[in-house]
Structure 1
Amino acid sequence: MNSKRWIALIVAVVLLVFSLGFRMATSVVTADFEEMFDLQDNKFQQSVIEEGSGTNQIAVLNLDGVIQDSGENSLLDSGGYNHKRFLELLDEAGQDRTVNGIVLRVNTPGGGVVESAEIHDKVVEIQEEYEKPVYVSMGNTAASGGYYVAAPADKIVAHEATLTGSIGVIMESFNFAEFADEHGIDFNTIKSGEYKDIMSSSREMTDDERDILQAMIDDMYGDFVDVIVDGRGMPEDEVRNLSDGRVYTGSQANDNGLVDELGSMDDTIAMMKEDYDLGDARVIEYQKGFGVNQWLGGAVQNMFDSESDVNGIKDMLRESNAPRAMYLYTK
């Protein structure tokens, strides 16, 4: 075989290898990632906690972390609270005809006013539209927004050492005007209206601004009180006496009527079984699926020395947002 034929053969082999490699890469890019991460078909996962009848089920949903909508596409989603997915979990449990009751395991210091209200409304929707009981089992902390979402439950069960209550609204911001003056830092603010820079960190708040914000907080606080009055069937004056922002232990909350029983998660499930004749029910736990963002979050997290590094970045990004009202227990 002469040199020209050898060259032609080598070129043909190179072209064949290149063609096969290109097809393989295209196939991976267009199809394999969805299958690897199972993004579309299995949005949620179920695990069996207690065996029983598959036609009668109690679904357990875990509400962990600060109730805050940080967006569903964050590259730093390392598996923390995801507001959109939790609402979808509630929808799934409500619509599942094999689920006869729902237990919310609440372990949160609260969070955003709007997000807390959205969960509360979803619980009420499940009770009224699907006629399913919703019980709440409180973990270490179920305070402020955590109590807001628990208030409409058919039964609230707390551990005697649970921290709950903290009923109220808070809005905070930093003020470093004096520091800026001491260090010769000037701020140039151009605004369209007198109150456009309300709660600015670069100057003292005026009395008018404080009155405006206090009126907003009082309105949101009134909504919180109404939620407890409606959910717990308590007189408004009694709720307001309990709602000065303080936290209560589970035992104290049981004494003052904010919770119904003391007990564990297992106790809460047992109560639902007994109350609704679900002794043979299978107990399942609804969990969010594993998505690409969560995988990327884990990959990014491994680039740092510890989990606190990633959480610190997320906290800094969160704190850079404008101040907002929160149903949040802060220490």
Structure 2
Amino acid sequence: MADLTTPKRNWLQRLTGLGRTTIPVVRLHGVIAAEQRQGRLNIATVAPLLQRAFAIKAAPVVAIIVNSPGGSPVQSRLIAKRIRDLAEEHHKPVLVFVEDAAASGGYFIAVAGDEIIVDPSSIIGSIGVIMAGFGFVGALEKLGIERRVHTAGNNKSTLDPFLPEKKSDIERIKQVETDIHNVFIDVVKKRRGERLNGADETLFTGEWWTGMRGVELGLADAVGDLHETLHTRYGPHLNLKVIEPRRSWFGLPRLGFAASLGSDISATIEDRALWARFGL
């Protein structure tokens, strides 16, 4: 009977790392926003990581871990496009692994992968657009405060929280949301194609599902995890090279800590609110 066991690596291969298959792993975790802040994803912070990952010529594939509740539609599209541009330039397939969530903008990024692999309890989908805010008109009246606004242009005060909503403003906002939503839908249909297994009225309402249900709907390809999938496909001798942001010399913290403390707290609250929408 033939020996079907995996060949063992000799001492020189073990010492030098030769004989291992190198696979770059890029971890994209956080809310998607243009603002340059720790824990935020945007094209400025993600592009260098992707560039380094795809530059590893010997790698047969690039693995991307996505864990995001969404955020900026513009930054989501820019990141997804950069993934596809690099994949085509370097002729490398992309495997996306979803952890807790790839929702809304997070799912926009995930569909840039050639395959999407999820945990059965991952949250995926939420293919929709939302704009939210507060109105303080009644509060100003109760406090006896009069706010004075002067504009050049009839629509410059749209979404002003201290002014009553106007029907024309709502209609205009709805049109903007529809335009952005259509971009999202077009990208999902282009990337997932015939793998989608549901009507538009089901898939594109902003609803989200577990990873297991997402596979049934064709929003994802399989249930699994990074290590098991890569070892099964590329063998046991892997070098998973995690691509991380480069640290500045001496690991110096950013300046202006005291001045930015208030904005950091505000951003943290906003981020937590996005995660909380999915019970995370």
Structure 1's 122 and 202: CA in aligned 2 closer, same or farther, altered over 3 A? same
Matched, 1:316 2:248: no
**Aligned residue number for residue 8 of structure 1:** none
Matched, 1:291 2:251: no
Structure 1, unaligned stretches of length 5 or more?
1-50, 72-76, 304-308, 321-327
Within-5 A mapping of 1:99-110:
99-110=59-70
C-alpha distance in structure 1 between counterparts of 2:78 and 2:193, whole Å: 21
**Aligned residue number for residue 151 of structure 2:** 191
C-alpha distance in structure 1 between counterparts of 2:19 and 2:164, whole Å: 62
**1:240-267 C-alpha deviation (Å, 9 max, x unpaired):** 5212111101111111111100012213
Paired residues of 2:19 and 2:237 also in contact (CA < 8 A): no
Q: Which amino acid aligns with 2:135?
A: N
Structure 1's 167 and 247: CA in aligned 2 closer, same or farther, altered over 3 A? same
**Aligned residue number for residue 8 of structure 2:** none
C-alpha distance in structure 2 between counterparts of 1:53 and 1:261, whole Å: 31
Within-5 A mapping of 1:301-312:
310=261
Q: Which amino acid aligns with 2:31?
A: V
Aligned-partner SS, 1:153 = coil
Q: 2:140 aligns with which of 180, 191, 194?
A: 180
C-alpha distance in structure 2 between counterparts of 1:317 and 1:110, whole Å: 14
Matched, 1:266 2:227: yes
TM superposition score normalised by structure 2? 0.81
Aligned-pair identity in percent equals 25
Q: What is the CA-CA distance between 1:152 and the residue it aligns to?
A: 2.6
Q: Which amino acid aligns with 1:290?
A: R
Matched, 1:242 2:203: yes
C-alpha distance in structure 1 between counterparts of 2:197 and 2:219, whole Å: 13
C-alpha distance in structure 2 between counterparts of 1:103 and 1:57, whole Å: 11
Structure 1's 319 and 212: CA in aligned 2 closer, same or farther, altered over 3 A? farther
Q: Which amino acid aligns with 2:75?
A: E
C-alpha distance in structure 2 between counterparts of 1:186 and 1:272, whole Å: 67
**Aligned residue number for residue 188 of structure 2:** 228
Structure 2, unaligned stretches of length 5 or more?
1-15
Q: Which amino acid aligns with 1:241?
A: T
Query: Which structure's CA Rg is the greater one?
Result: 1
Structure 1's 272 and 287: CA in aligned 2 closer, same or farther, altered over 3 A? farther
**1:158-207 C-alpha deviation (Å, 9 max, x unpaired):** 00111111111111121111111111111111111110110110112211
Q: What is the CA-CA distance between 1:216 and the residue it aligns to?
A: 0.8
Q: 1:88 aligns with which of 27, 48, 63?
A: 48
- Larger mean Cα displacement after TM superposition, 197-206 or 51-60: 51-60
Larger RCO (alpha carbons 8 Å, 6+ apart)? 1
C-alpha distance in structure 2 between counterparts of 1:329 and 1:70, whole Å: 18
Aligned residues: 256
C-alpha distance in structure 1 between counterparts of 2:49 and 2:114, whole Å: 19
Q: What is the Cα-based RMSD across aligned positions, in Å?
A: 2.9
Q: Which amino acid aligns with 1:89?
A: L
* Deviating 4+ runs (over 3 angstroms): 51-56, 234-237, 278-281, 292-295, 297-300, 317-320
Matched, 1:202 2:162: yes
Structure 1's 268 and 126: CA in aligned 2 closer, same or farther, altered over 3 A? farther
Within-5 A mapping of 1:163-174:
163-174=123-134
**Aligned residue number for residue 67 of structure 1:** 32
**Aligned residue number for residue 98 of structure 1:** 58
Q: What is the CA-CA distance between 1:279 and the residue it aligns to?
A: 6.2
Q: 1:257 aligns with which of 218, 233, 245?
A: 218
**Aligned residue number for residue 133 of structure 1:** 93
**Aligned residue number for residue 9 of structure 2:** none
C-alpha distance in structure 2 between counterparts of 1:113 and 1:296, whole Å: 30
Q: What is the CA-CA distance between 1:93 and the residue it aligns to?
A: 1.5
Structure 1's 145 and 293: CA in aligned 2 closer, same or farther, altered over 3 A? farther
Structure 1's 271 and 149: CA in aligned 2 closer, same or farther, altered over 3 A? farther
Aligned-partner SS, 1:288 = coil
Q: What is the CA-CA distance between 1:91 and the residue it aligns to?
A: 1.4
C-alpha distance in structure 2 between counterparts of 1:193 and 1:55, whole Å: 63
C-alpha distance in structure 1 between counterparts of 2:197 and 2:222, whole Å: 22
**1:112-146 C-alpha deviation (Å, 9 max, x unpaired):** 11110011101111221111111111011111111
C-alpha distance in structure 2 between counterparts of 1:52 and 1:226, whole Å: 44
